[in-house]
């Protein structure tokens, strides 16, 4: 059974700060009621109907993530069949970044086994079909600036990234019109437990 937007938009709502944010989740329903997520998109504005009953638990968990709670999402199956081996590796490593931590794109490239592929890693994160489950908002630039989010470097998307980080307890500060991670930990602390 396909639980895709073709069958109706499935969205959840959260007020992250004062920003109304929703998620459109597409998934397939397998044997025994197992759900495999095929994509997630952030929505600003109109939210659409309530989630399909098969997705109610997933939506509740994602809502808690949007509300800043530390929720384990490791058990959620993702459809990575359209990904290259490189993309799968980057997404798998990024998925292990813990709540409240940040890692630079360069560190993610090293941890993924491709230290020279920083731009390619950034491209994988920019095109991440599974935000929150693969927490691309936790990837920041090496200079401490929060960088882009969902393919944008300014506007609602980067504001959402900053709010997601702050909801997880990551302090940010505005320096020279650029949002920065305040008191960025040493690289050893950033990568502990990700290998």
Quote the DSSP letter at residue 33.
Answer: G
Question: What is the model's pLDDT at position 59?
Answer: 77
For residues 25-50, give the mean pLDDT.
Answer: 66
The answer for 23, left when phi > 0, alpha when psi is -120 to 50, beta otherwise, is: beta
Q: What is the pLDDT of residues 72-120, one digit of tens each?
A: 988 888 888 889 999 999 999 999 999 999 999 999 999 999 999 999 9
136 is catalytic: yes
Distances in whole angstroms, Cα of residue 29 to Cα of each of 19, 41, 140: 31, 19, 34
Q: Pick the catalytic residue: 136, 140, 164, 180?
A: 136
Q: For residue 103, what is the enclosing H or E element?
A: strand 103-104
Q: What is the pLDDT of residues 150-182, one digit of tens each?
A: 888 888 788 888 888 988 888 888 776 666 776
All domains of the chain in start order, with CATH: 2-78 (no CATH), 85-191 (1.10.10.10)
């Amino acid at each position: 059974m396909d639980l895709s937007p073709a069958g109706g938009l499935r969205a959840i709502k959260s007020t992250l700060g004062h920003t109304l944010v929703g998620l459109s989740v597409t998934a397939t329903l397998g044997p025994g009621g197992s759900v495999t997520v095929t994509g997630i998109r952030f929505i600003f504005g109109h939210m659409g109907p309530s989630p399909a009953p098969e997705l109610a638990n997933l939506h509740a968990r994602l809502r808690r993530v949007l509300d800043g709670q530390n929720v384990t999402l490791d058990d959620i199956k993702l459809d990575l069949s359209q990904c290259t081996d490189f993309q799968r590796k980057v997404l798998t490593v990024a998925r292990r970044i813990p709540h409240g931590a940040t890692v630079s794109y360069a560190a993610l490239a090293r941890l993924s086994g491709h230290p020279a592929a920083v731009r390619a890693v950034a491209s994988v994160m920019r095109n991440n079909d599974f935000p929150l489950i693969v927490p691309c908002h936790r990837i920041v630039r090496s200079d401490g600036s929060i960088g882009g989010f969902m393919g944008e470097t300014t506007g609602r998307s980067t504001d959402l990234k900053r709010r997601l980080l702050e909801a997880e307890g990551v302090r940010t500060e505005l320096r020279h019109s650029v949002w920065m991670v305040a008191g960025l930990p040493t690289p050893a602390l950033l990568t502990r437990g990700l290998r």
